Chain A
Amino acid sequence: MSAKITASKPKGEIGELTASLQSLCTMGKRSDQELRAQKRDVFKKVVHYLTIGMDMSSLFASMTSCANLSPDDMVLKKMLYLYITHYATQAPDLVGGLSISYKVFEARKFTRLQGEEGLQLKRLTACLMSLGDEGSAAENFDLSLGCEAIVAQIGMGRLHHNCNPIPASVAFVAQIGMGRLHHNCKRIPASVQSLKISNGSSSSSSSSSSSSSSSSSSSTENCQGCKEEKENVKGAKKIVDKILLYNLLNRIKEFSDWSQCQVIELAAAYEPSSEAEVYDMLNALEDRLTVPNSAVVLATTKAFLHFTLSMPAIHQQVLERLKEPLKSLISRDDPATAYAVLAHVLLLAKRAPIIFENEHASFYCRAHDPWYIKRIKMEILSEIAVTSNVYDIVTELTEYTRDVVHPNMAREAVKAVGRIALQVPDMGGIVERLLLFLDSHSEDVVAETLVQMKDLLRRYPDMAELLGAALRAGAADSLQDVRDRALFYYRLLQTSIAEATRIISPPLLAVTNFSEALSPEMKEQVFQEFNSFSVIFQAPSSTFVDEQPGYHTLDDEEAAAEGAGVV
């Protein structure tokens, strides 16, 4: 466990590190190579302690001076930046003042850097710049200076798009940095201006000629991401620009997998204006279904389903078309991704069980599936049971009840059989199976069977033999309480059935629906949020999302200063 180490130990290690850092600041008699290697070792140790949670902030001064003395060692610089970014927000007082001046120093070097290594450095500095933390107005001014430098770079980077991919990479890192800065310090005017520039560049790059390289696509993506972030913060509704969307869709093959997901999400939010347009969109996205990445497939599924909601015939066809890719995704090796896909298949099975009726064999549990996969597969099996396949499904589920090692799985199997009995109109055979389960010798199975029978009785109150069997099993149960009650009812029934009916069961309505399931509105909402966590947790997002602000923002600090609560 990564608990914090007690106070006594760090003195020793920090002291050691301080000493070694200071000794490394002077050249001494060591050769250049040795010095470099030793510096790297010490920095590595610092990063290691950082990761496990020890407090290294007091080393800031020595670390910076050490790194500055070897200005061309990129590895050292990267480690230093890692260190700074880690502490910039955790211990702002200690590190903040120093880090801001450091940043300003770097910013001034920024524009003078040349060459390939210079470009690497620029990217790093762009990352660093954007870590906005609170500070006084003077520091903010300096920060804005740094931002302007980056903004200029973005301008230059755009011009270099087509010649050299590396400056473009600087540009898009800077764009994300701008987004972050804006998020944190909304009051810096430079950041607002730069956001406008990045919006402008995204639309210009999308309307640029066909020689746009893939790096510009990623820059577009990052702009997109930042825009969304901003809009989420403002709470504005996403109004998808048609031209932008078409442009993105036409070039979708150039994007990386993750950007494709974002583009398709955007497409799903778009409202097509005519049927012809719907067909166009479907054709454009059709081949995304064959990508090995399950995220892209599910995103495309969402888009397809939303486009065709108003056209039932096409909707049906779309569902048929989706069957094959989804089946292939389920049988993949990786249980985590298979789990996500299965959750979505369950949702689809609940909405339209017909499509999976003949595919029940693909949902049989394999011996080495983890328990969460087996559980979802059994739920799916119970959803798609109809008269034609119920015998096979119930036979298969009966096999699962024999699972000795995982009694939970046996219970799930019995639950599934019970659910099927409730759904399928002809349940005589299934009831017999349930009665058979009562004879099995596992307590869990017997207990679960009794629960299922109770549900059955609520639905069909006239099943006398069911009642009899339940009572018999109850009498054999190990718990004293249950035994007594069962025997009591039994004796009552023995004496006079009419009396019993009068006492115990006033005319109850047969229950048709069980209200534990989600209400239709909630189900609709979960479907709207296809391809998100709502499907896995089977509840709309409002129940589990608890947005909290990120790093301290200036606005919050102001509010805190005015005497409000602590953020």
Chain B
Amino acid sequence: MLSQFYILSARGDVIIRRDYLGNVPKNSAETFFRNAKFWKEGDEAPPVFNIDGVTYLHVKDGGVEVVATTRANMSPSFVLEFLRRICTIIKDYCGMLSEDAIRKNFVLVYELLDEVIDYGYPQSTSTDALKMFVLNEPSPVAPPAGINQMFGLHKGPTGVFKSVLDTNRTDGKGGRDEIFVDVVERLTCTFNATGTMSQAQVDGAIQVKSYLTGNPPIKIKLNDDLIIGACPLHPQISGSNSCFINLHFWASLQVANLDSFDIDRTISLKPAEGEFALMNYRTSTGFKPPFRLTCSVDSDPNSPLKAIMIIKLWCEIPSDKSTSGLEVEVPTPRYVQRVHCDLDSKAVAAQQQSWDYNEKTHMLKWKFKKCSGGQEFTMRSRLTLEKPFVPSLRTE
């Protein structure tokens, strides 16, 4: 089972350390940090690696590394899921997971760890059960400004940083009963070189953050036109609202009652306190991509060493909706030296759009603060090349 558990800051300082079995040498934290920082094959170490008979497993979250070591041949998913669960518990109790939060609440974290792992064996990790045994008070930490929330399904848009213990401590008048339900989806589309879509997938989750006292039963109702199927038997039903969703239905244990789901699409549950994912689903049909992008490259009539690239973006969502925080990344071939872009001057003046080129990574970024539906946006850029423009370069 687990031999050691520690949490390292981004610089390699040990913030929390627990040794369970004693069969791994004491300097394993240094060994881990040295190897993880300077991994040969890439810029970060894989989540599982083995050095000298000791296997190191780590998960990175909130700027800290959560590491476990073991000498036994365990299941990697088991340990990695467990580390994730510990991150979630710390988030529930301290409000958020960051180096600062852990340093301020390290006694609380040690208490939680004592309850959660005993002699290297994971025990019960449900936030409710742990509440009974935790005595320390959390000290709140202000959230850092400007967290990048783009690519995480876990970081919901609510941005709530509250500790589960707050509801316990305050008496009836002070505490608020709150529950946050977010539907977070990630859409992945693969387009081939001609612009047609070769594959598309939506991964979604219903995330619930509950701060309700006493675990009252609640009911959640979903759209009536959802269908759950193992495999699509008939082609997509076209029509305004009906959609055929291939749902992979995952509900948390002991919590959700799905008996009435087939009848009227309700889920009744007693939510556990803290954060958990009520349902995960995946679908590959029944939607079209919200953006269309075309790109054309031509040689510049003024000089042979330059090329003009025109990128057009159509926002195909209905015009009453808009997106915020949109970024278009264009990787350029290696012989592009410099890039200069012209955007719609009104938009730049209103600070709605901007562009940026990183020479080291050859990445051109086009950023939108807000992009309303049903519109078309164009960007012209002049690329300076090392060699003269030749049609073969166009393919690149």
Interface residues of A, Cβ cutoff 8 Å to B: 1-3, 44, 47-48, 51-53, 74-75, 78-79, 82, 86, 89, 120, 123, 127, 166, 169, 173, 176-177, 179-180, 218, 222, 225, 229, 253-254, 256-258, 261, 265, 290-295, 297-299, 324-325, 327-328, 331-337, 339-341, 343, 361-362, 364, 366-368, 370-372, 392, 395, 399, 402, 404-406, 408, 441-442, 529, 531-537, 541, 544-551
Contact = CB atoms under 8 A, between A and B. Distances in A.
A79 B118 contact: no
Contact of A48 (B41, B42, B106, B203): B106
Contact of A336 (B30, B43, B47, B135): B47
Nearest to B55: A533
29 contacts: A2-B29, A3-B30, A51-B17, A53-B14, A78-B107, A120-B135, A176-B119, A180-B119, A222-B118, A222-B123, A256-B124, A257-B253, A265-B75, A292-B280, A294-B77, A295-B75, A337-B77, A337-B80, A340-B80, A361-B190, A371-B41, A372-B42, A392-B198, A441-B335, A533-B55, A533-B74, A534-B73, A541-B73, A550-B23
B148 interface: no
A551 B120 CA distance: 13
A1 B107 contact: no
Contacts of B230: 324
A292 B252 contact: yes
Contacts of A218: 123-124
A547 B71 contact: yes
Interface in B44-102: 44, 46-48, 50, 52-55, 57-59, 71-78, 80-85
Closest 6 CB pairs of A and B: A546-B53, A371-B42, A336-B47, A361-B199, A295-B78, A372-B46
Given A290-B248, A335-B47, A371-B41, A340 B77 contact: yes
Contacts of A324: 230, 248
Contacts of B41: 371, 408
Interface stretch (B125-133, B289-297, B310-318, B347-355): B125-133
A399 B194 CA distance: 13
A268 to B, nearest CB: 11
Contacts of A222: 118, 121, 123
A487 B14 CA distance: 57
Interface in B131-168: 132-133, 135-136, 151-154
Contacts of A405: 331, 361-363
B341 interface: no
A533 B76 contact: yes
Contacts of B13: 1-2, 52
Contacts of B78: 258, 261, 295, 299
Contacts of A3: 30
A356 B153 CA distance: 27
Contacts of B33: 1
Interface residues of B, number: 93
A241 B307 CA distance: 74
Interface-central residue, A47, A328, A334, A361, by most chain B CB under 10 Å: A334
A254 B126 CA distance: 12
Nearest to A321: B230
A408 B42 contact: yes
A109 B293 CA distance: 74
B53 A545 contact: yes
B249 interface: yes
Contacts of B14: 2, 51-53
Interface in B197-213: 198-199, 201, 203
A325 B52 CA distance: 34
Nearest to A74: B135
Among B13, B107, B251, B254, chain A packs the most CB atoms within 10 A around the CB of: B107
Interface in B155-192: 186, 188, 190, 192
Contacts of B252: 292
B333 A406 contact: no
Interface string B223-247: 0000000100000000000000000
A531 B280 contact: no
A173 B333 CA distance: 61
A546 B21 CA distance: 14
B264 interface: no
B268 to A, nearest CB: 17
A257 B71 contact: no
Given A2-B30, A51-B106, A258-B78, 13 more contacts: A51-B15, A75-B136, A120-B133, A166-B132, A253-B254, A325-B248, A328-B248, A328-B282, A370-B44, A372-B47, A533-B73, A544-B53, A546-B52
B288 interface: no
Contact of B76 (A173, A179, A532): A532
B15 A533 contact: no
A133 to B, nearest CB: 11
A525 to B, nearest CB: 12
A295 B77 contact: yes
Contacts of A75: 107, 135-136
B110 interface: yes
A298 B42 contact: no
Nearest to A366: B188
Contact of A331 (B12, B193, B282): B282
B277 A292 contact: yes
Given A324-B248, A336-B84, A404 B77 contact: no
B334 interface: yes
B298 interface: no
A371 B43 contact: yes
B329 interface: yes
A336 B80 contact: yes
A179 B52 contact: no
Contacts of A549: 23
A331 B133 CA distance: 36
